[in-house]
Amino acid sequence: MRRLPPLNALQVFEVVARHRSFTRAAEHLCLTQGAISRQILALEDYYKFPLFIRGMKGLTLTAEGEMLLPTVRESFGRIEEVSSRLTRQRTDVALKVPTCVMRWMLPRIMSFQGGHPDLQLQITTTWQHDVDFQLEPFDAAIVYGSSPGADVHAIPLFDEQLTPVCTAELLRDTPVTDVDDLARVMLLHPTRDHRDWKMWLGRAGASGVDANLGLSFDTLDLATNAAMQGFGVAIGDRTLVSEDVAARRLVLPFDTFVETGSRYYFVYPDCVADQPKMKVLSEWIAANRM
């Protein structure tokens, strides 16, 4: 069996290729320029072809170097990801959560943590609504869509139900008693294509409201925050705003709810399904999702 190329040299090769300079690679790796050069020469000796073209303006990759680089980067990335999983404490659970879900999720996280102080949840918030467990270092995630995705264990949390949300103060200043009254307030959109407001207004039978008008945001969370500050009426999810409605930070001016067909799920991959920490968390989520 042919021996593998020197792994230290491959790591040096990736850094040199990234910086296109022996000097900057040496600074990055806290090595001398001579040590960097020797590692690259050792790798070129192994492959029996040059990896870089040395020119007056710096380094450029040869055709063979260009072919090697993506595989080296992917391999070290996978090693780093797997190592992160293996070295993480057995009692830690790395959880990826969309920012818009945190209002609903935070009280549940605190309740779980209070009952299970031996398990530590590491929460990473993101604007993304999906997860790739092959590439991302998470034990579990909350995702959103018409399905939870393939090759995961999934616990349905709740269906998306759209409805307008705003502050009570805004309604006192600008009464909104009929759907067409929404033409007199600022519409706050969680997407740039305004699809959520268009869907709700269509179902509610609004004829005098232009869904193309208003202020657009990148996330549902940003639009909801703007509504909470009294800037207008956002289109929100009934479940996600339930804590704010209960605390009277927001009100629901209408009782019309539109189901979009999408749903929020708690998901985790096969590789952690049998771990005690994941069994505890998933069973708790299933019993306390609403």
Indicate if 92-159+263-287 has the same CATH topology as 7-87.
no
161-259 has which fold? D-Maltodextrin-Binding Protein; domain 2 (3.40.190)
Tokens representing 190? 């969680």
In whole angstroms, give the CA distance from residue 173 to residue 41.
74
Domain ranges of the chain: 7-87, 92-159+263-287, 161-259
Positions in the chain whose pLDDT score sits under 70? 1-2, 84-91, 290
CATH number given to 7-87: 1.10.10.10
In whole angstroms, give the CA distance from residue 206 to residue 214.
16
pLDDT attached to residue 54: 85
Contacts of 12 (CB under 8 A, 6+ apart): 25, 29, 31, 36, 39, 40, 43
pLDDT attached to residue 91: 66
pLDDT attached to residue 290: 64
pLDDT attached to residue 88: 59
pLDDT attached to residue 85: 65
* H or E element in which residue 21 lies: none
pLDDT attached to residue 84: 67
Write the DSSP string, 162-196.
EEEEB-HHHHHHS---SGGGGGGS-EEESSTT-HH
In whole angstroms, give the CA distance from residue 46 to residue 62.
16
CATH number given to 92-159+263-287: 3.40.190.10
pLDDT attached to residue 141: 95
pLDDT attached to residue 6: 86
User: What is the pTM for the complete model shown?
Assistant: 0.69
